[in-house]
Structure 1
Amino acid sequence: MPITLLQPDGLVRSPAFSHVAVVPPGATTVYLGGQNGVDETGRVVSDDIAAQSVRAVENAVVALEAAGATLDDVVQWTILFDERADLGAAYGAIAAKLARDGAPPLVTAARVAGLGVPGALIEVSAVAAVVADGPR
């Protein structure tokens, strides 16, 4: 039984996010902690939000793969933006990486006064579900 992502009638339809996810019994749940646009030494890669956004998602890919998951297994993203961040530039840099054929994952985004990593403008975290038998 695949993961089902829903955009119910009566709610806004968006190519960027779904509203509800149903994960079947037996799926392996993977929780991805916050990833910033930092290199392997922990240094922020740039003061540019687009560059940080791309690197944050690249870091998410590495972490997900370590747990046996991929971007296609992500059910929900949480994205925190520093209040100084240009949201258009950030989303523009990563939208194609987060998109998928069919229904997109759930997305929660917020602007915050600051992030735990000095100089970070974005932090992404996620919940993924890996279904052992069959496609999503």
Structure 2
Amino acid sequence: KPFSFVELSARIRALIRRGQPERPTVLVVGDLRLDPARHRVWRADKELTSQISPREFALLELFMRNPGRVLRREQIIDQIWGLEGDWFSNVVDQYVAYLRRKVDRPFDRDDIETIRGVGYRLKDSGR
């Protein structure tokens, strides 16, 4: 059925509006909570915000938006640092180590997993 340009444009706008999932205001994976809007982090109801650097926060947010999914080092570099190439991957390893020291070890957890030769994954508490 032919559409007028105005009707077609209105239908496309409606599809775009409906097709964009709402981002949760607070991300929750297990007992880990992150509020991107307020730049705050909690684990087991203890606030960790003052201990987390902006880069670590961005990395944790990336993991929490993708729980259970393996993120390759290259993906992390591109998302967090905006660079391409694997020459930067040792920096990813270092920041993951920083994050583990702050959000996993003090709580006797090991939720940030290394997937050898590939990258990292935040365990999805539902699995």
Higher relative contact order (CA 8 A, sep 6+): 1
Name the structure with the higher strand share.
Answer: 1
Question: So what's the TM-score if we normalise by structure 2?
Answer: 0.29
| Higher Rg of the two aligned structures | 2
TM-score (ref. length: structure 1): 0.28
Going by fraction, where is helix more abundant, 1 or 2?
2
